[in-house]
Amino acid sequence: MADPSLAIAARAAFTAIRNDAPEDLFYFFALYTTEDGSYVCATAWSEEALARVVVTYRKRDARRSVDEHTRALRFSAPDSPFHETHSEGFARFQSGKALHDACFDALRELERDGFFGCGAARSKVIVNVVYGDMSDEQWLEHAERLNPRGAVERALPYLHLHRATGRVEAWGAHAYQVNGLSLSTNHTIAYSGSGGEVGVLDVATRRPIFERKRTGEHWACALSPDATRLYLGDRDAILILDPEKGAATSFAKTGKPATLAIAPDGSRLAASSFESPLRVFDTMSRQELWEDETIRKASIAFSPDGKWLAAATLRAENGKSIGSVACFDAATGRVRWSASLGPAYTSCVAWTPEGSDLLVATSQWVGRDEDRAAPAFSASSPPRRARHGAFSRGRIRSMRWRSHRPVGASR
Amino acid sequence: MTSKEALIVLDREGRELARGTGTQERLACCAFATEDSALAAGRDVNRGPALLSLAIA
């Protein structure tokens, strides 16, 4: 038998919330916690409160329609005026997984008492255990444990569920969150994640050569062409990890790298940080070759011959996000050319395999998902622009060219 | 290329060769790792694995 005290606290909180708005039609009651049960509080939404909050949000962001705001807010617990109200009674519970699990028991107990209504009225109410950071899939899984089918079906249109489409398969990695990928010329791929995720896998066998969750923040990685060294961005440095031995050593002190790129011959490493200048290092001597103060958090790529480094970045200008791209001499940092990309919220670069052209993708925020076509730049100076016809397809996050010689074909 | 949730492969003329989504709520990066597929990685809603592959026709 579950400890009834959490149900008593939940009943008290939800009753007080109802009493705050006795005329409102409440459609959502939830206990708000974390996966490890760090704390619990009550949260709820009513149709009337949602309508009021949508009006407020619409004033702040008129680019989204009322319907879009309504969909985004309908089950967004922290946006509710009832969130975390009347939750003093939860303070006495001890944190832990047991508290998390007890949330489900508490709501089931209220359900048995008919607190959320019955019959047709119950199907208009969704009850749940929610976190600040959870996927809609997990939200649905919790909801299915606590609600009749009819109530769940009414919530489904507001959820964004991720289903595999196309000829896609889960490929691998013992991690669920990855921010950086890097491929060596000898068929080895490395990944890294901001939560410390690091892996180096043989492409052919998918066998991990190294795989571990470290304590760092590895937003970016770059694998040497022979896969013997993995350069890892960390909180305030670049590390070198030997994938075979698993040992990491310091390569250079720098701001937290957002992106890393290694020259095709492995001789130079470029690091673009969240808040520090773009820096290029000699990998043998570990000496910094040059830096550029103007480039922050850029998408960077060496040309196939290693002579040039392209960097696309964003900057705030009069409240707008503006993109720009520059082509640097990789050895000296001399700017070969630069160009504005106009308004953009993302930008990324990729060289063609022969190095004659640099593709630059950007996207503009125009409503919800709309994007704008990106230009293609020649590597020659001055840049010539040519529109690449296929780029108006979603906000582009990353781009890679496939080389003429298929990677892996010789194995 | 990756957009927020989709991995898309185009030819040089911009014609779409393949497109797919996995169970990632956000894709961050991509690579051509094998002859007949592209890889992408991001944040998987089911807690992994983070890497997906898309077969290219």
In the beta sheet, which residues pair with residue A362?
A: A347
Task: Give A10-56 as a DSSP string.
Answer: HHHHHHHHHHHSTTS-EEEEEEEE-TT---EEEEEEEHHHHHHHHHH
Q: Tokens representing A120? A: 């047709």
Residue A362's pLDDT is: 77
CB B4 within 8 A of CB A395: yes
Percent of chain A whose pLDDT exceeds 90? 74
Q: Name the residue facing B49 among A173, A361, A400 (closest C-beta).
A: A173
Q: Which residue of A has its CA nearest to B48?
A: A176
> Which stretch of A44-58, A61-75, A231-245, A263-277 has the lowest confidence by average pLDDT?
A61-75
- SS3 of chain A: helix, strand, coil, percent, to 5: 20, 35, 45
Interface test with B, best of A35, A140, A176 (most B CBs within 10 A): A176
Report whether pLDDT(A264) > 80.
yes
Most confident segment among A134-143, A354-363, A376-385, B1-10: A134-143
CB A219 within 8 A of CB A257: yes
Interface test with A, best of B43, B47, B54 (most A CBs within 10 A): B43
Q: Tokens representing A178? A: 């990855």
ipTM of the complex: 0.96
Q: Which residue of B has its CA nearest to A191?
A: B41
* Interface contact A178-B13, CB threshold 8 A: no
CB A241 within 8 A of CB A234: no
Give the A:B interface size as CB pairs under 8 Å.
174
Most confident segment among A9-13, A381-385, B26-30: A9-13
Look at residues A323, A382, A379 and name the one whose alpha carbon lies nearest to residue A356. Answer: A379
Q: Tokens representing A369? A: 């998902």
Q: For A141, which DSSP code?
A: H
* Interface contact B29-A406, CB threshold 8 A: no
Neighbour tally for A59: CB within 10 Å = 8
How are beta strands A126-131 and A26-33 bridged, if at all? parallel
Residue A371's pLDDT is: 39
Handedness of CA A48, A52, A57, A59 (dihedral sign): positive
* Interface contact A162-B21, CB threshold 8 A: yes
Alpha helices in A61-133 (DSSP H): 66-73, 97-112, 119-122
HSE, side-chain direction, 13 A CA sphere, residue A268:
24
Which stretches of A132-245 are assigned E, i.e. beta strand?
168-172, 180-183, 188-192, 197-202, 208-213, 221-223, 230-233, 237-241
How large is the C-alpha radius of gyration of chain B?
Answer: 11
**Residue B17 distance to chain A (closest CA, Å):** 11
Q: What is the pLDDT of residues A358-378, one digit of tens each?
A: 888 877 543 333 334 444 555
Whole-angstrom Cα distance, residue A283 to residue A393? 37
Neighbour tally for A138: CB within 10 Å = 17
pLDDT along chain B (57 residues), means of 10: 87 83 92 90 90 92
Q: Residue A316 corresponds to which amino acid?
A: A
Whole-angstrom Cα distance, residue A84 to residue A224? 50
Residue A410's pLDDT is: 26
Q: Which residue of A has its CA nearest to B44?
A: A176
**Residue A165 distance to chain B (closest CA, Å):** 5
Which stretches of A163-225 are assigned E, i.e. beta strand?
168-172, 180-183, 188-192, 197-202, 208-213, 221-223
Whole-angstrom Cα distance, residue A363 to residue A392? 8
> Which stretch of A121-135, A235-249, A337-351 has the lowest confidence by average pLDDT?
A337-351
* Interface contact B3-A361, CB threshold 8 A: no
Whole-model pTM: value is 0.79
Given pLDDT bands bounded at 50, 70 and 90, which one contains residue A3?
low
Could you give the dihedral angle defined by the CA atoms of residues A395, A223, A401 and B1, in that order, rounded to the nearest 10 degrees? -20
Q: For A113, which DSSP code?
A: T
Q: Which residue of A has its CA nearest to B14?
A: A390
pLDDT greater at residue A375 or residue A260:
A260
